[in-house]
């Protein structure tokens, strides 16, 4: 458990160093035996230590050993994603600049670039707006994440998933990069969108493509 807590802290520090989260924004979780560890509420990365990570059960209760700790307000979608996606072991939520900018426009990200495939499909969906920390937000996020490893949250930010913290972080970085590219492209006009057939070729190629191998 201590190793998992240190990994979660390290991931949170990387999110801040990369500029994907600032201040107390965003959160992250990792699956552990019996539930998951999640970052605490209201602490900046500079204030966090591994011992601040909160151990929660998949029924939404806090482990007895962590009684008195306050988990991130977004624990519901972390819990629901991990409960419904057994292949996923890490969840990252960011308020990164370009993902949030497009989320405020309620825009899905179309296949303007083949790397859209890293999110698991030929689009990155934007979930409808729902209040932060609410079950409604978790419900719309789960729908947007069906057969996907990332989605935008309207007027809010981004969620990225992975088999472990490293993959979830890589997905978050790539999605933010794609959002910036899409935003810049829109300043010049409408991009050419890859066809379904072209994206099928991408997925076939991804079967042996480094960290993104399917």
Cα gap 88→121, rounded to integer Å: 16
Cα gap 93→159, rounded to integer Å: 5
Determine which one of 6, 74, 174, 176 is catalytic: 74
What are the backbone angles phi and psi of residue 41, rounded to the nearest 5°?
Answer: -85, 140
Decide if 176 is catalytic.
no
Q: Which residues contact 139 (CB under 8 A, 6 or more apart)?
A: 80, 130
3-state secondary structure of 177: helix
Among all chains, which residue has been given the structure tokens 């969906």? 125
What are the backbone angles phi and psi of residue 94, rounded to the nearest 5°?
Answer: -130, 160
Instruction: Give the residue numbers marked as catalytic.
Output: 74
């Amino acid at each position: 458990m201590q190793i998992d807590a240190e990994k979660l802290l390290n991931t949170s520090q990387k999110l801040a160093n990369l500029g994907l989260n600032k201040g107390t924004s965003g959160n992250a979780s990792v699956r552990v035996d019996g539930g998951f560890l999640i970052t605490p509420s209201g602490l900046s990365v500079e204030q966090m230590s591994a011992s601040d990570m909160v151990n929660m059960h998949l029924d939404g209760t806090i482990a007895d050993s962590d009684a008195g700790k306050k988990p991130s307000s977004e624990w519901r979608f972390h819990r629901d994603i991990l409960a419904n996606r057994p292949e996923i072991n890490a969840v990252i939520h960011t308020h990164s600049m370009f993902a949030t900018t497009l989320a405020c426009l309620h825009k899905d990200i179309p296949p303007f670039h083949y790397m859209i495939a890293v999110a698991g499909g030929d689009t990155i969906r934007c979930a409808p707006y729902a209040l932060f920390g609410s079950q409604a937000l978790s419900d719309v996020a789960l729908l947007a994440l069906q057969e996907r490893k990332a989605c935008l949250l309207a007027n809010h930010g981004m969620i990225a998933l992975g088999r472990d913290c490293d993959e979830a972080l890589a997905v978050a970085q790539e999605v933010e990069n794609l959002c910036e590219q899409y935003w810049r492209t829109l300043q010049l006009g409408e991009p050419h969108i890859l066809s379904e057939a072209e994206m099928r070729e991408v997925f076939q190629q991804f079967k042996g493509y480094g960290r993104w191998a399917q």
